[in-house]
Structure 1
Amino acid sequence: MKLEFLNSLGAVIRQGSFAGAAEEVGLTPSAISLQMKKLEEYFGQPLFDRSARTVRPTPLALELAETVSAALNAVEEARTRHTGALTGRIAIGAIRSLQPTMIPLVLGVIAKRHPGLSVRVIQGDSVELLDQLKAGRLDGAALVRPMAGGSSRLYWRDLAEQPFVFVAPADSESNDMSELVARYGWIQFDTTLTSGRTAATYLHRFAPGARPRFELESIEAVLAMVAQGLGVSIIPRLPASLSSRVLVRQIPLRGPAPQRQISFVCRATDAETRKAIAIRDAFVASYEGMDAA
Protein backbone atom coordinates (compact mmCIF):
# COMPACT_ATOMS: atom_id res chain seq x y z
CA MET A 1 0.00 0.00 0.00
CA LYS A 2 1.34 3.41 -0.96
CA LEU A 3 1.12 6.54 1.15
CA GLU A 4 -0.25 8.51 -1.82
CA PHE A 5 -3.32 6.21 -1.88
CA LEU A 6 -4.22 7.36 1.63
CA ASN A 7 -3.67 10.97 0.62
CA SER A 8 -6.10 10.42 -2.26
CA LEU A 9 -8.59 8.85 0.16
CA GLY A 10 -8.64 12.08 2.16
CA ALA A 11 -9.17 14.08 -1.04
CA VAL A 12 -12.17 11.92 -2.06
CA ILE A 13 -13.76 12.47 1.36
CA ARG A 14 -13.15 16.22 1.23
CA GLN A 15 -14.40 16.63 -2.34
CA GLY A 16 -17.23 14.11 -2.27
CA SER A 17 -16.30 12.56 -5.62
CA PHE A 18 -13.47 10.87 -7.48
CA ALA A 19 -13.49 13.67 -10.06
CA GLY A 20 -13.09 16.34 -7.39
CA ALA A 21 -10.33 14.40 -5.69
CA ALA A 22 -8.55 13.95 -9.02
CA GLU A 23 -8.53 17.71 -9.55
CA GLU A 24 -7.22 18.32 -6.02
CA VAL A 25 -4.29 15.89 -6.22
CA GLY A 26 -3.54 16.25 -9.92
CA LEU A 27 -4.48 12.76 -11.16
CA THR A 28 -7.21 11.44 -13.44
CA PRO A 29 -10.53 10.17 -11.99
CA SER A 30 -9.70 6.68 -13.26
CA ALA A 31 -6.39 6.75 -11.38
CA ILE A 32 -8.18 7.79 -8.18
CA SER A 33 -10.73 5.01 -8.68
CA LEU A 34 -7.96 2.45 -9.11
CA GLN A 35 -6.21 3.68 -5.95
CA MET A 36 -9.43 3.33 -3.94
CA LYS A 37 -9.93 -0.21 -5.24
CA LYS A 38 -6.38 -1.07 -4.16
CA LEU A 39 -7.10 0.29 -0.68
CA GLU A 40 -10.32 -1.70 -0.44
CA GLU A 41 -8.44 -4.85 -1.45
CA TYR A 42 -5.81 -4.11 1.18
CA PHE A 43 -8.35 -3.62 3.99
CA GLY A 44 -10.70 -6.32 2.75
CA GLN A 45 -13.86 -4.21 2.83
CA PRO A 46 -15.51 -1.30 1.00
CA LEU A 47 -14.47 2.23 1.86
CA PHE A 48 -17.33 3.91 -0.01
CA ASP A 49 -21.02 3.46 -0.62
CA ARG A 50 -21.29 3.95 -4.37
CA SER A 51 -25.06 3.46 -4.65
CA ALA A 52 -25.82 7.19 -4.47
CA ARG A 53 -24.91 9.93 -6.95
CA THR A 54 -22.00 10.99 -4.70
CA VAL A 55 -19.65 8.51 -3.06
CA ARG A 56 -20.25 8.23 0.69
CA PRO A 57 -17.35 7.15 2.93
CA THR A 58 -17.81 4.26 5.33
CA PRO A 59 -16.89 4.63 9.02
CA LEU A 60 -13.61 2.84 8.26
CA ALA A 61 -12.76 5.35 5.54
CA LEU A 62 -13.44 8.27 7.88
CA GLU A 63 -11.30 6.71 10.61
CA LEU A 64 -8.43 6.11 8.19
CA ALA A 65 -8.61 9.64 6.78
CA GLU A 66 -8.50 11.20 10.25
CA THR A 67 -5.56 9.06 11.32
CA VAL A 68 -3.63 9.55 8.10
CA SER A 69 -4.23 13.30 7.99
CA ALA A 70 -2.43 13.81 11.29
CA ALA A 71 0.44 11.56 10.19
CA LEU A 72 0.84 13.27 6.80
CA ASN A 73 0.85 16.71 8.42
CA ALA A 74 3.57 15.58 10.82
CA VAL A 75 5.65 14.18 7.97
CA GLU A 76 5.31 17.39 5.94
CA GLU A 77 6.28 19.53 8.93
CA ALA A 78 9.35 17.37 9.54
CA ARG A 79 10.35 17.52 5.89
CA THR A 80 10.02 21.31 5.79
CA ARG A 81 11.87 21.76 9.08
CA HIS A 82 14.85 19.56 8.27
CA THR A 83 15.28 20.01 4.52
CA GLY A 84 18.00 22.38 3.32
CA ALA A 85 17.87 24.83 0.45
CA LEU A 86 17.06 23.39 -2.96
CA THR A 87 20.06 23.63 -5.28
CA GLY A 88 21.21 22.21 -8.60
CA ARG A 89 19.84 22.39 -12.13
CA ILE A 90 16.34 21.80 -13.47
CA ALA A 91 14.91 21.66 -16.98
CA ILE A 92 11.41 23.02 -17.63
CA GLY A 93 9.44 22.52 -20.84
CA ALA A 94 6.81 24.97 -22.05
CA ILE A 95 4.83 25.37 -25.26
CA ARG A 96 5.68 28.40 -27.40
CA SER A 97 2.66 30.52 -26.42
CA LEU A 98 3.63 30.37 -22.73
CA GLN A 99 7.20 31.55 -23.29
CA PRO A 100 6.53 35.33 -23.37
CA THR A 101 3.60 35.29 -20.93
CA MET A 102 3.95 32.70 -18.16
CA ILE A 103 7.59 31.67 -18.18
CA PRO A 104 8.92 35.06 -16.93
CA LEU A 105 6.46 34.84 -14.01
CA VAL A 106 7.38 31.22 -13.27
CA LEU A 107 11.12 31.93 -13.33
CA GLY A 108 10.55 34.92 -11.06
CA VAL A 109 8.82 32.71 -8.49
CA ILE A 110 11.56 30.09 -8.67
CA ALA A 111 14.32 32.71 -8.34
CA LYS A 112 12.65 34.13 -5.25
CA ARG A 113 11.86 30.82 -3.55
CA HIS A 114 14.89 28.79 -4.65
CA PRO A 115 17.80 31.12 -5.46
CA GLY A 116 20.20 28.17 -5.57
CA LEU A 117 18.47 26.59 -8.57
CA SER A 118 19.71 26.95 -12.15
CA VAL A 119 16.89 26.67 -14.68
CA ARG A 120 16.92 25.69 -18.34
CA VAL A 121 13.72 26.31 -20.32
CA ILE A 122 12.96 24.12 -23.33
CA GLN A 123 10.43 25.12 -25.99
CA GLY A 124 8.39 22.65 -28.04
CA ASP A 125 4.90 21.56 -28.92
CA SER A 126 2.97 19.43 -26.44
CA VAL A 127 3.83 16.10 -28.07
CA GLU A 128 7.54 16.92 -28.24
CA LEU A 129 7.60 18.01 -24.60
CA LEU A 130 5.83 14.85 -23.45
CA ASP A 131 8.39 12.75 -25.33
CA GLN A 132 11.26 14.65 -23.69
CA LEU A 133 9.62 14.32 -20.28
CA LYS A 134 9.19 10.56 -20.65
CA ALA A 135 12.81 10.29 -21.81
CA GLY A 136 13.98 11.99 -18.62
CA ARG A 137 15.26 15.17 -20.28
CA LEU A 138 12.75 17.41 -18.48
CA ASP A 139 11.85 17.70 -14.80
CA GLY A 140 8.41 19.10 -15.61
CA ALA A 141 6.49 20.87 -18.35
CA ALA A 142 3.50 23.12 -19.01
CA LEU A 143 1.56 22.14 -22.11
CA VAL A 144 -1.84 21.43 -23.62
CA ARG A 145 -3.34 18.40 -21.92
CA PRO A 146 -4.56 15.74 -24.38
CA MET A 147 -8.32 15.58 -24.94
CA ALA A 148 -8.35 12.05 -23.52
CA GLY A 149 -6.94 13.35 -20.23
CA GLY A 150 -3.33 12.22 -20.54
CA SER A 151 -1.45 9.13 -19.42
CA SER A 152 -2.10 7.98 -15.85
CA ARG A 153 1.62 7.16 -15.65
CA LEU A 154 2.21 10.89 -15.47
CA TYR A 155 1.25 13.37 -12.76
CA TRP A 156 -1.06 16.13 -14.03
CA ARG A 157 -2.01 19.43 -12.39
CA ASP A 158 -4.46 21.55 -14.37
CA LEU A 159 -3.53 25.24 -14.46
CA ALA A 160 -5.97 27.10 -16.70
CA GLU A 161 -8.69 26.62 -19.29
CA GLN A 162 -8.25 28.85 -22.33
CA PRO A 163 -11.31 29.34 -24.54
CA PHE A 164 -10.61 30.17 -28.18
CA VAL A 165 -11.56 33.61 -29.50
CA PHE A 166 -11.84 35.25 -32.90
CA VAL A 167 -9.27 38.05 -33.37
CA ALA A 168 -9.73 40.90 -35.85
CA PRO A 169 -7.95 44.21 -36.56
CA ALA A 170 -8.60 46.90 -33.95
CA ASP A 171 -10.31 49.21 -36.49
CA SER A 172 -12.74 46.54 -37.72
CA GLU A 173 -16.34 47.17 -36.70
CA SER A 174 -18.40 44.09 -37.56
CA ASN A 175 -18.79 41.10 -35.23
CA ASP A 176 -19.91 38.88 -38.11
CA MET A 177 -17.07 36.39 -38.43
CA SER A 178 -18.01 35.26 -41.94
CA GLU A 179 -17.99 38.86 -43.09
CA LEU A 180 -14.63 39.54 -41.44
CA VAL A 181 -13.06 36.45 -43.03
CA ALA A 182 -14.30 37.55 -46.46
CA ARG A 183 -13.02 41.09 -45.97
CA TYR A 184 -9.60 40.49 -44.43
CA GLY A 185 -8.68 36.90 -45.29
CA TRP A 186 -7.95 33.99 -42.99
CA ILE A 187 -4.69 33.57 -41.05
CA GLN A 188 -4.29 29.97 -39.98
CA PHE A 189 -2.49 29.03 -36.77
CA ASP A 190 -0.18 26.03 -37.36
CA THR A 191 -2.36 22.97 -38.09
CA THR A 192 0.38 20.57 -37.03
CA LEU A 193 -0.57 21.64 -33.49
CA THR A 194 -3.76 20.59 -31.70
CA SER A 195 -4.73 24.25 -31.16
CA GLY A 196 -4.36 25.02 -34.85
CA ARG A 197 -6.50 22.06 -35.87
CA THR A 198 -9.13 23.06 -33.30
CA ALA A 199 -9.26 26.59 -34.74
CA ALA A 200 -9.56 25.32 -38.32
CA THR A 201 -12.37 22.93 -37.39
CA TYR A 202 -14.36 25.73 -35.78
CA LEU A 203 -13.75 28.10 -38.71
CA HIS A 204 -15.19 25.64 -41.19
CA ARG A 205 -18.48 25.57 -39.27
CA PHE A 206 -19.34 29.10 -40.35
CA ALA A 207 -17.03 29.57 -43.34
CA PRO A 208 -16.75 26.11 -44.95
CA GLY A 209 -15.11 27.39 -48.13
CA ALA A 210 -12.47 29.53 -46.43
CA ARG A 211 -8.83 28.89 -47.32
CA PRO A 212 -5.94 30.34 -45.36
CA ARG A 213 -4.19 33.33 -46.84
CA PHE A 214 -1.25 32.77 -44.47
CA GLU A 215 -0.29 29.98 -42.08
CA LEU A 216 2.02 30.83 -39.19
CA GLU A 217 3.68 28.78 -36.47
CA SER A 218 3.22 31.06 -33.47
CA ILE A 219 0.35 32.92 -31.83
CA GLU A 220 2.56 36.00 -31.53
CA ALA A 221 3.12 36.04 -35.31
CA VAL A 222 -0.60 35.62 -35.95
CA LEU A 223 -1.35 38.54 -33.64
CA ALA A 224 1.21 40.76 -35.34
CA MET A 225 -0.36 40.07 -38.73
CA VAL A 226 -3.89 40.69 -37.46
CA ALA A 227 -2.77 43.93 -35.79
CA GLN A 228 -1.45 45.09 -39.19
CA GLY A 229 -4.82 44.43 -40.81
CA LEU A 230 -3.52 41.49 -42.84
CA GLY A 231 -6.16 38.99 -41.78
CA VAL A 232 -8.29 37.50 -39.00
CA SER A 233 -7.82 34.33 -37.02
CA ILE A 234 -8.97 32.07 -34.18
CA ILE A 235 -6.53 31.53 -31.32
CA PRO A 236 -6.64 30.73 -27.58
CA ARG A 237 -7.78 33.77 -25.59
CA LEU A 238 -4.95 36.16 -24.78
CA PRO A 239 -3.84 36.76 -21.19
CA ALA A 240 -4.69 40.27 -19.99
CA SER A 241 -1.00 41.17 -19.88
CA LEU A 242 -0.65 40.45 -23.61
CA SER A 243 -4.01 41.88 -24.64
CA SER A 244 -2.97 45.33 -23.44
CA ARG A 245 0.09 45.29 -25.71
CA VAL A 246 -1.51 44.01 -28.94
CA LEU A 247 -3.98 46.12 -30.91
CA VAL A 248 -6.56 43.53 -31.92
CA ARG A 249 -10.21 42.89 -31.14
CA GLN A 250 -11.11 39.65 -29.37
CA ILE A 251 -14.59 38.44 -30.33
CA PRO A 252 -16.17 35.54 -28.36
CA LEU A 253 -17.03 32.54 -30.52
CA ARG A 254 -20.66 31.64 -31.15
CA GLY A 255 -22.17 28.51 -29.68
CA PRO A 256 -20.11 26.04 -27.65
CA ALA A 257 -16.62 27.48 -28.01
CA PRO A 258 -13.63 25.13 -28.08
CA GLN A 259 -11.03 25.52 -25.38
CA ARG A 260 -7.68 24.06 -24.42
CA GLN A 261 -6.50 22.90 -21.00
CA ILE A 262 -3.07 24.12 -19.93
CA SER A 263 -1.56 21.72 -17.39
CA PHE A 264 1.65 21.06 -15.52
CA VAL A 265 2.94 17.52 -15.99
CA CYS A 266 5.82 15.46 -14.67
CA ARG A 267 6.62 11.77 -14.34
CA ALA A 268 4.45 10.15 -11.67
CA THR A 269 7.54 8.72 -10.00
CA ASP A 270 8.94 12.26 -9.63
CA ALA A 271 5.74 13.97 -8.45
CA GLU A 272 6.84 14.12 -4.80
CA THR A 273 10.43 15.14 -5.45
CA ARG A 274 11.44 18.62 -4.36
CA LYS A 275 12.37 19.72 -7.89
CA ALA A 276 9.03 18.71 -9.39
CA ILE A 277 7.14 20.32 -6.50
CA ALA A 278 9.14 23.54 -6.93
CA ILE A 279 8.26 23.73 -10.64
CA ARG A 280 4.59 22.82 -10.10
CA ASP A 281 4.14 25.33 -7.28
CA ALA A 282 5.79 28.08 -9.37
CA PHE A 283 3.33 27.50 -12.22
CA VAL A 284 0.35 27.35 -9.83
CA ALA A 285 1.41 30.56 -8.08
CA SER A 286 1.96 32.34 -11.41
CA TYR A 287 -1.47 31.42 -12.78
CA GLU A 288 -3.20 32.28 -9.51
CA GLY A 289 -1.38 35.63 -9.47
CA MET A 290 -2.46 36.35 -13.05
CA ASP A 291 -6.09 35.50 -12.24
CA ALA A 292 -6.02 37.84 -9.26
CA ALA A 293 -4.47 40.71 -11.25
Structure 2
Amino acid sequence: MFRIERLQALHAVDRHGSVAAAAETLHLTPSAVSQQLSKLERDAGVRLLVPHGRTVKLTPAGKVLAESAEAALDELTRARTRIDALSGSITGPVRVGTIPTGVYVFVTEALTTLVTGHPAVEPAVVEAEPEKSLPMLVNGQLDIAVVESWDNMPLTRLPHTTWRALRDDTARVMLSAGDPRAAADTINAQDVARDSWVSWTAGSRAHAWLCHTLRERGVEPDVRHYVTGYATQFSLVTRLGATALMPAMSLAVASGYDVRALRLDDPSPRRTLYAVTADSQPRPAVSACLDALADAAQLDHATP
Protein backbone atom coordinates (compact mmCIF):
# COMPACT_ATOMS: atom_id res chain seq x y z
CA MET A 1 0.00 0.00 0.00
CA PHE A 2 1.34 3.43 -0.96
CA ARG A 3 1.24 6.18 1.66
CA ILE A 4 -0.38 9.46 0.66
CA GLU A 5 2.56 11.71 1.58
CA ARG A 6 4.85 9.63 -0.65
CA LEU A 7 2.43 9.83 -3.54
CA GLN A 8 2.20 13.60 -3.00
CA ALA A 9 5.97 13.86 -3.32
CA LEU A 10 6.01 11.93 -6.61
CA HIS A 11 3.08 13.93 -7.94
CA ALA A 12 4.84 17.20 -7.08
CA VAL A 13 8.07 16.14 -8.82
CA ASP A 14 6.07 15.14 -11.89
CA ARG A 15 4.26 18.50 -11.92
CA HIS A 16 7.25 20.75 -11.19
CA GLY A 17 10.13 18.86 -12.78
CA SER A 18 12.59 18.71 -9.90
CA VAL A 19 12.94 17.67 -6.28
CA ALA A 20 13.79 21.25 -5.26
CA ALA A 21 10.66 22.68 -6.87
CA ALA A 22 8.53 19.91 -5.38
CA ALA A 23 9.99 20.62 -1.93
CA GLU A 24 9.13 24.32 -2.21
CA THR A 25 5.56 23.52 -3.23
CA LEU A 26 5.11 21.02 -0.39
CA HIS A 27 6.84 23.26 2.17
CA LEU A 28 9.44 20.57 2.85
CA THR A 29 13.20 20.37 2.51
CA PRO A 30 14.61 18.69 -0.63
CA SER A 31 16.08 16.04 1.66
CA ALA A 32 12.65 15.23 3.10
CA VAL A 33 11.16 14.89 -0.39
CA SER A 34 14.03 12.64 -1.47
CA GLN A 35 13.43 10.42 1.54
CA GLN A 36 9.73 10.11 0.68
CA LEU A 37 10.62 9.19 -2.90
CA SER A 38 13.17 6.58 -1.77
CA LYS A 39 10.57 4.97 0.48
CA LEU A 40 8.04 5.02 -2.36
CA GLU A 41 10.52 3.26 -4.64
CA ARG A 42 10.99 0.57 -2.00
CA ASP A 43 7.21 0.20 -1.73
CA ALA A 44 6.88 -0.08 -5.51
CA GLY A 45 9.85 -2.38 -5.96
CA VAL A 46 11.02 -0.52 -9.10
CA ARG A 47 12.93 2.61 -10.02
CA LEU A 48 10.61 5.60 -10.26
CA LEU A 49 13.18 8.33 -10.94
CA VAL A 50 16.50 8.54 -12.77
CA PRO A 51 19.05 11.38 -12.96
CA HIS A 52 18.55 13.76 -15.85
CA GLY A 53 21.25 16.44 -16.04
CA ARG A 54 20.98 18.48 -12.85
CA THR A 55 17.52 17.20 -12.06
CA VAL A 56 15.54 13.97 -12.37
CA LYS A 57 12.94 12.48 -14.67
CA LEU A 58 10.32 9.82 -14.11
CA THR A 59 10.80 6.32 -15.44
CA PRO A 60 7.89 4.69 -17.29
CA ALA A 61 6.90 3.05 -14.00
CA GLY A 62 7.20 6.42 -12.28
CA LYS A 63 4.90 8.00 -14.86
CA VAL A 64 2.29 5.29 -14.32
CA LEU A 65 2.38 5.75 -10.56
CA ALA A 66 2.35 9.57 -10.84
CA GLU A 67 -0.80 9.44 -12.96
CA SER A 68 -2.43 7.14 -10.44
CA ALA A 69 -1.28 9.41 -7.62
CA GLU A 70 -2.93 12.40 -9.26
CA ALA A 71 -6.19 10.48 -9.66
CA ALA A 72 -6.04 9.27 -6.04
CA LEU A 73 -5.34 12.75 -4.65
CA ASP A 74 -8.17 14.25 -6.72
CA GLU A 75 -10.54 11.56 -5.49
CA LEU A 76 -9.59 12.20 -1.87
CA THR A 77 -10.32 15.90 -2.34
CA ARG A 78 -13.71 15.11 -3.83
CA ALA A 79 -14.43 12.69 -0.98
CA ARG A 80 -13.65 15.40 1.58
CA THR A 81 -16.03 17.75 -0.22
CA ARG A 82 -18.82 15.16 -0.35
CA ILE A 83 -18.42 14.26 3.33
CA ASP A 84 -18.57 17.90 4.37
CA ALA A 85 -21.58 18.51 2.14
CA LEU A 86 -23.45 15.56 3.66
CA SER A 87 -23.16 16.98 7.13
CA GLY A 88 -23.37 20.62 6.11
CA SER A 89 -20.76 21.23 8.78
CA ILE A 90 -18.40 24.14 8.43
CA THR A 91 -15.35 22.35 9.77
CA GLY A 92 -11.86 21.29 8.84
CA PRO A 93 -8.78 22.93 7.36
CA VAL A 94 -8.91 25.93 5.04
CA ARG A 95 -5.56 26.77 3.45
CA VAL A 96 -5.26 30.30 2.10
CA GLY A 97 -2.38 31.59 0.01
CA THR A 98 -2.33 35.37 -0.21
CA ILE A 99 -0.34 38.31 -1.46
CA PRO A 100 1.25 40.36 1.36
CA THR A 101 -1.18 43.29 1.21
CA GLY A 102 -4.03 40.83 1.60
CA VAL A 103 -2.59 39.71 4.92
CA TYR A 104 -2.06 43.29 6.10
CA VAL A 105 -5.48 44.64 5.19
CA PHE A 106 -8.22 42.02 5.28
CA VAL A 107 -7.23 38.31 5.16
CA THR A 108 -6.33 38.07 8.85
CA GLU A 109 -9.51 39.94 9.74
CA ALA A 110 -11.58 37.59 7.56
CA LEU A 111 -10.08 34.48 9.14
CA THR A 112 -10.65 35.89 12.62
CA THR A 113 -14.31 36.39 11.79
CA LEU A 114 -14.50 32.92 10.26
CA VAL A 115 -13.14 31.06 13.29
CA THR A 116 -15.22 33.18 15.67
CA GLY A 117 -18.37 32.04 13.92
CA HIS A 118 -17.13 28.52 13.16
CA PRO A 119 -14.63 27.38 15.80
CA ALA A 120 -14.12 23.98 14.14
CA VAL A 121 -12.52 25.59 11.08
CA GLU A 122 -8.71 25.33 11.03
CA PRO A 123 -7.24 28.17 8.94
CA ALA A 124 -3.69 28.17 7.61
CA VAL A 125 -2.05 31.06 5.76
CA VAL A 126 0.79 31.00 3.23
CA GLU A 127 2.09 34.40 2.13
CA ALA A 128 2.87 34.01 -1.57
CA GLU A 129 2.77 35.92 -4.82
CA PRO A 130 0.46 34.62 -7.58
CA GLU A 131 3.29 32.90 -9.46
CA LYS A 132 3.61 30.59 -6.45
CA SER A 133 0.09 30.45 -5.00
CA LEU A 134 -1.78 29.59 -8.21
CA PRO A 135 0.30 26.45 -8.95
CA MET A 136 -0.12 25.45 -5.29
CA LEU A 137 -3.88 25.89 -5.66
CA VAL A 138 -4.08 23.77 -8.80
CA ASN A 139 -1.87 21.10 -7.22
CA GLY A 140 -4.10 20.85 -4.16
CA GLN A 141 -1.76 22.50 -1.62
CA LEU A 142 -4.17 25.43 -1.16
CA ASP A 143 -7.94 25.83 -0.98
CA ILE A 144 -7.99 29.54 -1.86
CA ALA A 145 -5.45 31.85 -3.49
CA VAL A 146 -5.83 35.59 -2.93
CA VAL A 147 -4.11 37.17 -5.93
CA GLU A 148 -3.71 40.54 -7.65
CA SER A 149 -4.20 41.27 -11.34
CA TRP A 150 -3.04 44.65 -12.68
CA ASP A 151 -4.93 46.21 -15.57
CA ASN A 152 -1.66 46.78 -17.46
CA MET A 153 -0.28 43.28 -16.65
CA PRO A 154 -3.23 40.93 -16.08
CA LEU A 155 -2.85 37.43 -14.70
CA THR A 156 -3.59 34.46 -16.93
CA ARG A 157 -6.60 32.57 -15.63
CA LEU A 158 -5.77 28.90 -15.33
CA PRO A 159 -8.31 26.38 -16.64
CA HIS A 160 -10.83 24.97 -14.15
CA THR A 161 -10.39 27.82 -11.66
CA THR A 162 -13.08 30.13 -10.30
CA TRP A 163 -12.30 33.82 -9.65
CA ARG A 164 -14.24 36.00 -7.20
CA ALA A 165 -13.44 39.72 -7.21
CA LEU A 166 -12.77 41.12 -3.74
CA ARG A 167 -11.73 44.76 -4.14
CA ASP A 168 -9.87 47.24 -6.36
CA ASP A 169 -6.72 49.18 -5.62
CA THR A 170 -4.45 51.67 -7.38
CA ALA A 171 -0.70 52.20 -7.71
CA ARG A 172 1.14 54.96 -5.85
CA VAL A 173 4.58 56.46 -6.28
CA MET A 174 6.14 56.54 -2.81
CA LEU A 175 8.49 59.43 -2.03
CA SER A 176 10.18 60.58 1.13
CA ALA A 177 8.19 63.35 2.80
CA GLY A 178 11.24 65.60 2.48
CA ASP A 179 11.30 65.30 -1.32
CA PRO A 180 10.19 68.63 -2.88
CA ARG A 181 7.94 66.73 -5.30
CA ALA A 182 6.03 65.10 -2.44
CA ALA A 183 3.69 68.07 -1.99
CA ALA A 184 1.82 67.20 -5.22
CA ASP A 185 -1.11 64.78 -5.51
CA THR A 186 0.06 63.27 -8.79
CA ILE A 187 3.37 62.84 -10.57
CA ASN A 188 4.40 62.13 -14.14
CA ALA A 189 6.67 59.19 -14.91
CA GLN A 190 9.18 61.52 -16.56
CA ASP A 191 9.50 63.39 -13.25
CA VAL A 192 10.90 60.25 -11.61
CA ALA A 193 12.88 59.00 -14.61
CA ARG A 194 16.26 59.72 -12.98
CA ASP A 195 15.34 58.36 -9.55
CA SER A 196 16.87 55.35 -7.81
CA TRP A 197 14.17 52.73 -7.31
CA VAL A 198 13.45 50.07 -4.74
CA SER A 199 11.65 46.97 -5.97
CA TRP A 200 10.51 43.54 -4.94
CA THR A 201 13.09 40.83 -5.61
CA ALA A 202 14.44 40.40 -9.14
CA GLY A 203 12.58 37.73 -11.09
CA SER A 204 9.34 38.24 -9.20
CA ARG A 205 6.12 39.28 -10.90
CA ALA A 206 6.02 42.41 -8.73
CA HIS A 207 9.44 43.47 -10.04
CA ALA A 208 8.38 42.73 -13.61
CA TRP A 209 5.25 44.84 -13.12
CA LEU A 210 7.22 47.85 -11.84
CA CYS A 211 9.58 47.70 -14.84
CA HIS A 212 6.70 47.18 -17.28
CA THR A 213 4.69 50.09 -15.85
CA LEU A 214 7.58 52.53 -16.15
CA ARG A 215 8.80 51.27 -19.51
CA GLU A 216 5.38 51.71 -21.08
CA ARG A 217 5.70 55.37 -20.02
CA GLY A 218 9.12 55.71 -21.61
CA VAL A 219 11.19 55.29 -18.44
CA GLU A 220 13.90 52.69 -17.86
CA PRO A 221 14.05 52.36 -14.06
CA ASP A 222 17.37 52.40 -12.25
CA VAL A 223 16.54 49.72 -9.67
CA ARG A 224 19.16 49.88 -6.93
CA HIS A 225 17.43 47.95 -4.16
CA TYR A 226 15.78 44.51 -4.28
CA VAL A 227 13.88 43.55 -1.15
CA THR A 228 10.99 41.51 0.20
CA GLY A 229 8.36 43.22 2.29
CA TYR A 230 6.68 46.59 1.95
CA ALA A 231 7.99 47.82 5.30
CA THR A 232 11.54 47.41 3.99
CA GLN A 233 10.64 49.43 0.89
CA PHE A 234 9.18 52.21 3.04
CA SER A 235 12.35 52.23 5.14
CA LEU A 236 14.53 52.69 2.05
CA VAL A 237 12.25 55.42 0.73
CA THR A 238 12.40 57.26 4.05
CA ARG A 239 16.07 56.84 4.91
CA LEU A 240 17.84 56.62 1.54
CA GLY A 241 15.50 58.67 -0.61
CA ALA A 242 14.67 55.78 -2.91
CA THR A 243 11.48 55.85 -4.98
CA ALA A 244 8.96 53.01 -4.99
CA LEU A 245 5.87 52.09 -6.99
CA MET A 246 3.50 50.21 -4.70
CA PRO A 247 -0.20 49.44 -4.24
CA ALA A 248 -2.10 51.98 -2.16
CA MET A 249 -3.07 49.17 0.23
CA SER A 250 0.59 48.82 1.20
CA LEU A 251 0.15 52.03 3.20
CA ALA A 252 -1.39 49.79 5.87
CA VAL A 253 2.20 49.12 7.02
CA ALA A 254 3.54 52.66 6.47
CA SER A 255 3.07 53.74 10.10
CA GLY A 256 6.35 55.09 11.42
CA TYR A 257 7.72 55.88 7.96
CA ASP A 258 7.60 59.49 6.75
CA VAL A 259 6.47 58.88 3.17
CA ARG A 260 4.05 60.50 0.75
CA ALA A 261 1.94 58.58 -1.76
CA LEU A 262 1.36 60.20 -5.15
CA ARG A 263 -0.84 59.02 -7.98
CA LEU A 264 1.05 58.11 -11.14
CA ASP A 265 -0.73 59.87 -13.96
CA ASP A 266 -1.40 58.66 -17.49
CA PRO A 267 -3.52 57.13 -15.71
CA SER A 268 -2.48 55.42 -12.48
CA PRO A 269 -2.48 51.60 -12.88
CA ARG A 270 -5.28 49.72 -11.14
CA ARG A 271 -5.41 46.19 -9.80
CA THR A 272 -8.20 43.88 -8.74
CA LEU A 273 -7.76 41.40 -5.91
CA TYR A 274 -9.42 38.02 -6.41
CA ALA A 275 -10.10 34.93 -4.33
CA VAL A 276 -9.40 31.97 -6.62
CA THR A 277 -10.51 28.38 -6.08
CA ALA A 278 -9.90 25.23 -8.10
CA ASP A 279 -13.29 23.72 -7.27
CA SER A 280 -16.50 25.19 -8.67
CA GLN A 281 -18.40 23.68 -5.72
CA PRO A 282 -16.08 24.09 -2.72
CA ARG A 283 -16.80 22.41 0.59
CA PRO A 284 -18.74 24.41 3.19
CA ALA A 285 -15.71 25.64 5.13
CA VAL A 286 -14.09 27.00 1.97
CA SER A 287 -17.36 28.67 0.89
CA ALA A 288 -17.66 30.30 4.31
CA CYS A 289 -14.08 31.53 4.03
CA LEU A 290 -14.78 33.03 0.59
CA ASP A 291 -17.73 34.95 2.05
CA ALA A 292 -15.63 36.16 4.98
CA LEU A 293 -12.89 37.35 2.62
CA ALA A 294 -15.39 39.23 0.46
CA ASP A 295 -16.97 40.91 3.49
CA ALA A 296 -13.65 41.91 5.08
CA ALA A 297 -12.20 43.18 1.79
CA GLN A 298 -15.07 45.60 1.29
CA LEU A 299 -14.87 47.19 4.73
CA ASP A 300 -13.81 50.83 4.90
CA HIS A 301 -10.09 50.37 5.34
CA ALA A 302 -8.00 53.51 5.31
CA THR A 303 -6.08 53.20 2.06
CA PRO A 304 -6.09 56.50 0.14
TM-score (norm 1): 0.63
The answer for the alignment partner of 2:243 in structure 1 is 232
Query: What residue identity is the alignment partner of 2:101?
Result: S
The answer for the alignment partner of 2:286 in structure 1 is 276
Give percent identity, aligned residues only: 17
Q: 1:203 to 1:156 in 2, by over 3 A?
A: same
The answer for the alignment partner of 2:99 in structure 1 is 95
Deviation at 1:186, TM superposition (A): 1.6
3-state DSSP of counterpart to 1:228: helix
The answer for the alignment partner of 1:107 in structure 2 is 111
Q: Which runs of 5+ in 2 are unaligned?
A: 1-85
Q: 1:290 aligns with which of 276, 292, 300?
A: 300
Q: 2:264 aligns with which of 242, 249, 253?
A: 253
The answer for the alignment partner of 1:23 in structure 2 is none
Q: 1:167 to 1:257 in 2, by over 3 A?
A: same
The answer for the alignment partner of 2:219 in structure 1 is 208
Deviation at 1:120, TM superposition (A): 1.1
Query: What residue identity is the alignment partner of 1:102?
Result: F
Residues 92-111 of structure 1: CA distance to partner in whole angstroms, max 9, x if unpaired?
11123322332321221112
Q: CA RMSD in A?
A: 2.8
Aligned residue-pair number: 210
Q: Structure 1 residue 155 and structure 2 residue 165: aligned?
A: no
Question: Segments of 4+ in structure 1 off by > 6 A?
Answer: none
Does the CA-based 8 Å contact 1:139-1:275 persist in structure 2? Answer: no
3-state DSSP of counterpart to 1:238: helix
Does the CA-based 8 Å contact 1:101-1:242 persist in structure 2? Answer: no
Q: 1:217 to 1:243 in 2, by over 3 A?
A: closer
Residues 34-58 of structure 1: CA distance to partner in whole angstroms, max 9, x if unpaired?
xxxxxxxxxxxxxxxxxxxxxxxxx
Q: 1:214 to 1:290 in 2, by over 3 A?
A: same
Does the CA-based 8 Å contact 1:188-1:200 persist in structure 2? Answer: no
The answer for the alignment partner of 2:132 in structure 1 is 128
Query: What residue identity is the alignment partner of 2:269?
Result: P
TM-score (norm 2): 0.61
Q: Which runs of 5+ in 1 are unaligned?
A: 1-81
Q: Structure 1 residue 167 and structure 2 residue 171: aligned?
A: no
Q: 1:152 to 1:245 in 2, by over 3 A?
A: farther
